């Protein structure tokens, strides 16, 4: 998979390349990651990428020509049909489903805006406008890094254990709790069900936790879910524990 980014601050992406799962994906060749400086695709000697907005108003607007110059060069060098993403607070909300869909693409190009935004004509060459939330950042770089990190987890081979990509938000449920040694710390104990080796009960316990957490923290996700047999069993057990005045952690 090839992922490319266009920005006026390419050094920001050193943080993404240096560490963790994404760095290993680069080293193994599973992902080919390139960062390009938009200023290299300007037509003037001062490498200007912004100008005053027509009609007046505060701030500066990123010019249309450098983006088109870049895409002309990219298509002549690599591919004529990459999937192009513009990071913008006006875009569709990025989530786990979008990350999974993007991970299926062969080539992604992220365009990072700055200032008051980009010339509207840039949008004409964009396949998807995406946002990571209802707030404004100084530029699209951090949003692009969030999206790239998230989608890379769904690229086959990036994670050693494919189930590791099934964290919070997988299948519209939040993740269950996790524990490791010691068994007890300052009076806080690991739930007994996790220590007895009964894998069927452990699976049920974890699914109950996912159901409970989603209902309490993200009811909007739970309301979208079509309940399956596993969900119904977990809910029945949750109601039984509630009737007995017990917590999920007290499941035997």
Based on the residue annotation, tell me whether 240 is a catalytic residue of this protein: no
* Annotated domain spans of the chain: 2-163, 170-250
DSSP 60-92: -EE-HHHHHHHHHHHHHHT-S-PEEEEEEEEEE
Q: Which of 89, 100, 128, 218 is flagged as catalytic?
A: 89
Distance CA 67, CA 121 (A): 10
Low-confidence ranges of the chain (pLDDT < 50): none
Residue range 2-163 forms a domain whose CATH class is alpha beta
Amino acid 228: pLDDT? 95
| Catalytic residue check, 89 | yes
Which one of 116, 127, 198, 250 is the catalytic residue? 116
Determine phi and psi for 251, rounding to 5 degrees. -60, 135
Pick the CATH number of 170-250 from 3.40.225.10, 1.10.340.30, 3.10.110.10, 1.10.1270.20: 1.10.1270.20
> Is 220 marked active-site?
no
pLDDT tens for 167-179 read 555 567 998 999 9
Beta-strand relationship, 107-112 and 83-93: parallel
Say if 2-163 and 170-250 have the same CATH topology.
no
Q: What is the pLDDT of residues 68-101, one digit of tens each?
A: 999 999 999 998 899 999 999 999 999 999 999 9
Beta strands 128-131 and 107-112 are unpaired
Taking the C-alpha atoms of residue 41 and residue 67, their distance in angstroms, rounded to an integer, is 7
pLDDT at 62: 96
| pLDDT (0 to 100) of residue 161 | 60
Burial class (CB in 10 A: 0-12, 13-18, 19+), 38: buried
- 116 in active site: yes
Task: Report the predicted TM-score, pTM, of the whole model to 2 decimal places.
Answer: 0.86
């Amino acid at each position: 998979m090839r992922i490319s980014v266009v920005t006026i601050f390419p050094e920001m992406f050193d943080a993404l390349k240096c560490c963790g799962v994404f760095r290993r994906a680069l080293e193994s060749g599973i992902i080919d990651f390139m960062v390009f400086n938009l200023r290299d695709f300007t037509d003037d000697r001062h490498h200007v990428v912004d100008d005053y907005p027509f009609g007046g108003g505060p701030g500066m607007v990123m010019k249309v020509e450098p983006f088109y110059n870049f895409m002309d060069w990219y298509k002549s060098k690599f591919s004529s049909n990459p999937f192009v993403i513009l990071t913008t607070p006006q875009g569709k909300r990025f989530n786990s489903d979008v990350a999974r869909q993007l991970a299926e693409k062969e080539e992604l190009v992220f365009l990072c805006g700055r200032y008051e935004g980009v010339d509207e004509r840039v949008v004409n060459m964009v396949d998807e406008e995406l946002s990571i939330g209802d707030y404004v950042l100084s530029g699209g770089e951090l949003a692009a890094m969030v999206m790239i990190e998230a989608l890379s987890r769904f690229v086959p081979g990036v994670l050693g254990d494919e189930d590791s990509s099934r964290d919070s938000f997988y299948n519209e449920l939040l993740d269950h709790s996790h524990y490791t040694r010691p068994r007890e710390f300052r009076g806080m104990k690991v739930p007994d069900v996790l220590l007895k080796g009964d894998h069927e009960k452990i699976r049920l316990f974890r699914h109950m936790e996912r159901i409970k957490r989603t209902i309490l923290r993200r009811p909007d996700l739970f309301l979208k879910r079509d309940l399956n047999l596993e969900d119904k069993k977990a809910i029945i057990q949750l109601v039984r524990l509630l009737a007995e005045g017990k917590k999920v952690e007290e499941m035997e």
